[in-house]
Structure 1
Amino acid sequence: MAIKPTKAEKKQNYDAKLCQLIDEFTQILVVNADNVGSNQLQSIRSGLRGDSVVLMGKNTMMKRSVRIHAEKTGNKAFLNLIPLLVGNVGLIFTKGDLKEVSEEVAKYKVGAPARVGLVAPIDVVVPPGNTGLDPSQTSFFQVLNIPTKINKGTVEIITPVELIKKGDKVGSSEAALLSKLGIRPFSYGLVVLNVYDNGSVFSPEVLDLTDDDLVQKFAVGVSMVTSLSLAISYPTLAAAPHMFLNAYKNVLAVAVATEYSFPEADEVKEYLKDPSKFAVAAVAAPAAASAAAPAAAKEETKKEEPEEESDEDIGFGLFDE
Structure 2
Amino acid sequence: MVLSKTQKKDLTKKLAKELSSYPIIGIVNMANLPAKQLQAMRSKLRGPVVVKMVKKTLMKHAFKIAEKDKPGISQLADRFEGMPALILSKDNPFKLFKTLKANQSPAPAKAGQIAPDDITIPKGKTPFSPGPIISELGGVGLKTSVQDGKVAIVNDKVVTEKGHVINAKVASVLTRLSIMPMKIGLDLVCVIENGVIYGRDVLDIDETIFLSKVQTAARHAVNLSMEAAYPTKDTMSLLIAKAFTQAKGVAVESAILNEKTTPDIIAKAARQALALQGATS
After TM superposition, the score normalised by the length of structure 1 is: 0.58
- State the distance in 1 between where 2:218 and 2:255 align: 39
- State the distance in 2 between where 1:20 and 1:204 align: 26
- State the distance in 2 between where 1:217 and 1:250 align: 32
1:79 correspondence with 2:79: no
- State the distance in 2 between where 1:92 and 1:278 align: 80
- Say which of 233, 248, 252 aligns to 2:248: 252
What count of residue pairs does the alignment treat as equivalent? 259
* Equivalent residue runs for 1:55-66 within 5 Å: 55-57=52-54, 62=59, 64-66=61-63
- State the distance in 1 between where 2:133 and 2:244 align: 85
Is the alpha carbon distance of 1:250 and 1:52 closer, same or farther for their aligned partners in structure 2, counting shifts above 3 Å? Answer: closer
- State the distance in 1 between where 2:213 and 2:133 align: 57
Is the alpha carbon distance of 1:245 and 1:186 closer, same or farther for their aligned partners in structure 2, counting shifts above 3 Å? Answer: closer
- Consecutive unaligned residues of structure 2, counting only runs of 5 or more, are 276-281
1:12 Cα offset (Å): 2.5
- State the distance in 1 between where 2:248 and 2:62 align: 70
- State the distance in 1 between where 2:256 and 2:133 align: 98
- Say which of 128, 131, 137 aligns to 1:130: 128
* Equivalent residue runs for 1:207-286 within 5 Å: 209=207, 220=216, 222-258=218-254, 260-275=256-271
- Say which of 82, 87, 92 aligns to 1:92: 87
1:20 correspondence with 2:17: yes
Cα deviation 1:182-225 (Å, max 9, x = unaligned): 9573433222344556667664346x748xx76x7775555444
Is the alpha carbon distance of 1:177 and 1:19 closer, same or farther for their aligned partners in structure 2, counting shifts above 3 Å? Answer: same
Cα deviation 1:49-106 (Å, max 9, x = unaligned): 34431024566754553343232xxx4xx23545555132433223568748843664
| Equivalent residues of 2:25, 2:191 under 8 A apart | yes
* RMSD after superposition: 4.5
The structure showing larger relative contact order (alpha-carbon pairs under 8 Å, at least 6 residues apart) is: 2
Is the alpha carbon distance of 1:96 and 1:233 closer, same or farther for their aligned partners in structure 2, counting shifts above 3 Å? Answer: closer
Is the alpha carbon distance of 1:174 and 1:256 closer, same or farther for their aligned partners in structure 2, counting shifts above 3 Å? Answer: closer
- Give the aligned partner of residue 279 of structure 2: none
- State the distance in 2 between where 1:41 and 1:111 align: 14
- Give the aligned partner of residue 300 of structure 1: none
Percent of residue pairs identical: 21
- Give the aligned partner of residue 278 of structure 2: none
* Partner secondary structure for residue 18 of structure 1: helix
- Give the aligned partner of residue 305 of structure 1: none
| Equivalent residues of 1:30, 1:193 under 8 A apart | yes
| Equivalent residues of 1:252, 1:265 under 8 A apart | yes
- Give the aligned partner of residue 159 of structure 2: 164
- State the distance in 2 between where 1:67 and 1:119 align: 33
- Consecutive unaligned residues of structure 1, counting only runs of 5 or more, are 150-155, 280-321
Report the more deviating stretch, 60-69 or 239-248. Answer: 60-69
- Give the aligned partner of residue 5 of structure 1: 3
- State the distance in 2 between where 1:267 and 1:114 align: 81
Is the alpha carbon distance of 1:196 and 1:277 closer, same or farther for their aligned partners in structure 2, counting shifts above 3 Å? Answer: farther
- State the distance in 1 between where 2:18 and 2:274 align: 74
* Partner secondary structure for residue 110 of structure 2: coil
- State the distance in 1 between where 2:274 and 2:55 align: 78
Report the more deviating stretch, 19-28 or 118-127. Answer: 118-127
* Equivalent residue runs for 1:284-299 within 5 Å: none
1:204 counterpart letter in structure 2: L
1:94 counterpart letter in structure 2: S
| Equivalent residues of 1:117, 1:170 under 8 A apart | yes
* Equivalent residue runs for 1:169-188 within 5 Å: 169-176=165-172, 181=176, 185-188=180-183
| Equivalent residues of 2:48, 2:91 under 8 A apart | yes
2:71 counterpart letter in structure 1: L
| Equivalent residues of 2:115, 2:182 under 8 A apart | no
After TM superposition, the score normalised by the length of structure 2 is: 0.65
* Equivalent residue runs for 1:43-54 within 5 Å: 43-54=40-51
| Equivalent residues of 1:120, 1:165 under 8 A apart | no
